[in-house]
Structure 1
Amino acid sequence: MAQSALDLFPILPAVLSTEDAQLIEASVAQFGAPLLLLDCDSVRQQYRALSNALPNVTLHFALKPLPHPAVVDTLLEEGASFDLATTGEVELVASRGVPAHRTIHSHPIKRDADIRAALEYGCNVFVVDNLNELEKFIPYKNEVEILVRLSFRNAEVFADLSKKFGCSAQDAIEIIDRAQAIGVRIKGLSFHVGSQTLNPQKYVDAILACKAVMERVVELGLPALSTLDIGGGFPVTYTQPVMPIEEFCKPINQALSSLPETVQVLAEPGRFIVAACMTSVASVMGQAQREGQTWYYLDDGVYGSFSGIIFDHGQYPLYTTKQSNDMHSSVLAGPTCDSIDVISDHIMLPKLNNGDLIVGRMMGAYTSATATDFNFFKRAQTIVLNDVMADNRMIG
């Protein structure tokens, strides 16, 4: 793709400057709207920040929030490992040249075809959380290593993943004992304390509980466990500030230091790596006065890039490129014919005209990944900035 003003696109400040507005308008003039601008430099910065905050932890990027080839390429260059959950994700990392030994397959429930696809690629570390799942690996017992996932409920997060996956400590012991009997190797334990976890104590409690399970395994004469996967869930700032990642990880590191030196520690960050890397740009396609507010209908909505509002409890920082001190209570709605397609209610905005732009920040996680083509409104085009490849990609 030819060099353009987009190659210099900056991370937006708290207030959208005239210069930033001009750059965004230039991108729309070149590519149209709606757009998603994916900045690979942001991916690099976030990966490095978490690597520095967790210096003794191998980071396996979870593809789920943004399974984009440019993100995979960027993180591969950074030396990252990858967390896979589906055959489609296996195919993506394989197509980008990710070495299989730098991957794990962490979905606790799999079809036999999913197991075989991962093994054919070369990924041989899997996760289970019940005996039924464990027994799926009997035919592959000489090829695989298993992590047993424990459940730690957390009602304070965007998504309490332990509601759907994970087992109790006692059940974990039962799974490990059964694995020994059938000849399946248990490599270690895993957990996920929930998406967008704001309290690091949740990790500390889970780490110490897993340490107790590891000690119990040795007491029972079962093979010692060598790995602990502490999952993802590291928080990022949307509309409310969160603890800086260095401070957040201090108690986690302290808890990890209590584990035997032989235990390898993994993590599965997703949101933290990619949330900040994407900026959305939508344009006003129409407007109306309803119940004392101006409704602005955009060419992107909750069935598109703002799908995280529905699926991820997303609250994204929103700006307009129009500068004015005369603000009015407004509604931002998406383009579809469904009344649920509302992005923001009672938001204060200047008077906008058709064609004016709305900019969303922190749009990298669970946005384009969960977007649809409902009502035949096409998904926003993704423009890749600061790509590791020689040519910037453009993937719709």
Structure 2
Amino acid sequence: MTVTPVKNAVEFTSFSAKDESEIELIESLVERMGAPLMILDCDVVRNQYRALAAALPNVILHFALKPLPHPAVVSTLLAEGAYFDLATNGEVDLVASQGVPANKTIHTHPIKRDSDIKVALEYGCTTFVVDNINELEKFIPYADKAEILVRLSFPNAQAFADLSKKFGCSPDKAIEIIAYAHQLNITVRGLSFHVGSQTANPEKYVHAIGRCVELFSQVEALGLPTLHTLDIGGGFPVTYSQEVMPIDEFCAPIRHALTALPAYAQVIAEPGRFIVAPSVTSVASVMGQAERDGKTWYYLDDGIYGSFSGIMFDEGNYPVDALYWQGERFESVLAGPTCDSIDVIAESIMLPKLNNGDLIIGRMMGAYTSATATEFNFFKKAQFVILNEYHAVDSLSQVI
């Protein structure tokens, strides 16, 4: 089975299962394991990584673990030659457990405890991100071990999550940090930025890259050590309810902007959502139902506190439908299992008449879903099923 983005999808619009083999696979998995499930197809992870690598051929891709920190994703991407972007001690532990060489990692959380720095250095990760003087001074004891990327802020109100609101500094402040680092004998490797999650306009990257090119020249003109690296962050968009540009087209202006960098500059990126969002299909079952105000409410065994957590804070417009989608449709409500009134997945969705035990399928469920799920009310998180981890076509290779 290969899961791909649903084209021309509308929020909670209908779709059909790809073919009978997919229906049979889902039914057999639920029969063996129960529901809810998250079906992770590693072939999709591979395809997304390869597509982005082809669109940014001279950029080293560091997968950001945050959206889906799963061992199968790490091992799949490591086999593809990917690098990794870490932000916590838990993420350090994850990549270490999968045999990721430390020299294929960077640590990009702009705010760290001393213990976070020590854990990363003990693993062998030596590149860190700072965006203020206080953070820079934490590296005084580690000046002979660590290198720094200075993170810039480029506000982007159009992004779903404007990460420059919380992190990053102005270009002028970056010069101050770089000069102070030189006084402290701390090596500044380069600059970084993140234009925001699910960024639909590539010109946001173009503007940020242009300003960084200017800063490379300013640093050199001031007689400070040459900057060698630019980290262009993540934010590459995927299709949920609204179609986005094909990734090669999206990256074309980015590729052009990067040609203005010095020839010796190394460019890296931190893709997360783009790599994993299309790779997971969720499966939930109907626990019960009730008629309320002329609509049938279907109560599922997964919800807002579980795999659909992204509805509360992320893009969250997942294509959702019944596994058996044929027949007359009626305006319905999908609710989660908990005893909380906000646990509603869809207030108005057209569904065929469902029976208790029938299955609801969600697409594009790989990013910021299971990673942010809880076990509120003691409802267990959805189990993961891993497909094609070892290139085994349409086979269940591992169950976690």
TM-score band, normalised by shorter chain: over 0.9
Offset, 1:24 = 1.5
Query: Could you tell me which amino acid in structure 2 is paired with residue 161 of structure 1?
Result: L
Task: Say if 1:370 and 1:111 are closer, same or farther in 2 by CA, change over 3 A.
Answer: same
Alignment partners' CA distance in 2, 1:87 and 1:312: 24
Aligned 1:245-256 pairs, distance under 5 A: 245-256=247-258
1:234 to 233, 236, 256: 236
Aligned 1:133-172 pairs, distance under 5 A: 133-172=135-174
Aligned 1:335-354 pairs, distance under 5 A: 335-354=337-356
The aligned counterpart of 1:308 is: 310
TM-score, structure 1 as length reference: 0.96
1:234-291 CA deviation, whole Å, 9 max, x = no partner?
A: 0001121100000000000000011111110000000000001100000000111111
The answer for unaligned runs of 5 or more in structure 1 is: 1-8
Offset, 1:18 = 5.3
Alignment partners' CA distance in 2, 1:21 and 1:345: 26
1:16 aligns with 2:17: yes
Aligned-pair RMSD on alpha carbons? 1.3
**2:38 aligned counterpart, secondary structure:** strand
Retained in 2: the 8 A contact 1:297–1:335? Answer: yes
The aligned counterpart of 2:333 is: 331
TM-score, structure 2 as length reference: 0.95
User: Identity of paired residues, percent?
Assistant: 68
Query: Could you tell me which amino acid in structure 2 is paired with residue 347 of structure 1?
Result: I
Offset, 1:110 = 0.3
**Aligned pairs, number:** 387
The aligned counterpart of 1:106 is: 108
1:30-86 CA deviation, whole Å, 9 max, x = no partner?
A: 211000001000000000000000000000000000000000000000000000000
Offset, 1:219 = 1.1
Retained in 1: the 8 A contact 2:306–2:381? Answer: yes
Retained in 1: the 8 A contact 2:153–2:168? Answer: yes
1:187-242 CA deviation, whole Å, 9 max, x = no partner?
A: 00000000000000000000001111111111111111000000000000112110
Offset, 1:174 = 0.4
The aligned counterpart of 1:257 is: 259
Retained in 2: the 8 A contact 1:70–1:388? Answer: no
The aligned counterpart of 2:11 is: none
**1:305 aligned counterpart, secondary structure:** coil
Alignment partners' CA distance in 1, 2:303 and 2:326: 24
Alignment partners' CA distance in 2, 1:161 and 1:104: 18
Query: Could you tell me which amino acid in structure 2 is paired with residue 15 of structure 1?
Result: S
The aligned counterpart of 1:63 is: 65
**1:392 aligned counterpart, secondary structure:** strand
Alignment partners' CA distance in 1, 2:37 and 2:260: 47
1:77-133 CA deviation, whole Å, 9 max, x = no partner?
A: 000000000011001101110000000000000000000000000000000000000
2:387 to 371, 385, 388: 385
Offset, 1:388 = 3.0
Query: Could you tell me which amino acid in structure 2 is paired with residue 160 of structure 1?
Result: D
Query: Could you tell me which amino acid in structure 2 is paired with residue 290 of structure 1?
Result: R
Retained in 1: the 8 A contact 2:303–2:335? Answer: yes
1:80 aligns with 2:82: yes
Greater CA drift, 350-359 or 310-319:
310-319
Alignment partners' CA distance in 1, 2:388 and 2:297: 36
Greater CA drift, 297-306 or 26-35:
26-35
**1:332 aligned counterpart, secondary structure:** strand
**1:146 aligned counterpart, secondary structure:** strand
Alignment partners' CA distance in 2, 1:104 and 1:158: 25
Give the ranges of 4+ consecutive aligned residues of structure 1 lying more than 4 Å apart after TM superposition: none
Alignment partners' CA distance in 2, 1:388 and 1:68: 15
The aligned counterpart of 1:52 is: 54
The aligned counterpart of 2:271 is: 269
Retained in 2: the 8 A contact 1:16–1:319? Answer: no
